[in-house]
Amino acid sequence: MVFLDLIKHQYDIRYWKESTECDFLLLSMEQVFSCIQVCVDISTPDTLKRKINGVENACKQFSLKEGYIITLSESKEIYERGINIHCIPACVFLYTTIYHLKHL
């Protein structure tokens, strides 16, 4: 559903993988402006760490100060090594535009 919503907003979407992975990079005019991870839940420490590392490394690679983890129902803010990571429930994501996500 997240992917379909991104398509609906007609953004250029990429997958990124190096030492870690990030589910979606959003580009505008060939520049990455947002990093998004998607996960049903982040309640297990291993899953949370993997998703945080993916967002953090992608943000550092593309000089971004914040990224997103879209979950089924969890909402929280994480600050990890200089990167703000917004954990947002999918229902919130699906009812907002990417423009609004950049300003939450």
Structural domains in the chain (count): 1
Read off the CATH number of the domain in which 48 is found.
Answer: 3.40.1350
d(CA 78, CA 66): 10
20-40 pLDDT, tens digit per residue, is 999 999 988 889 999 999 999
User: Cα-flanking dihedrals φ and ψ of residue 49, to 5°?
Assistant: -60, -45
pTM of the predicted model as reported, rounded to 2 decimal places: 0.86
The identity of residue 15, as a single letter, is Y
d(CA 79, CA 97): 23
32-69 pLDDT, tens digit per residue, is 999 999 999 999 999 999 999 999 999 999 999 999 99
Backbone φ/ψ region at 6: left (φ over 0), alpha (ψ -120 to 50), beta? alpha
> Domain range for residue 68?
2-101
Burial class from Cβ neighbours inside 10 Å (0-12, 13-18, 19+) for residue 68 reads buried
Token output for 55: 């967002």
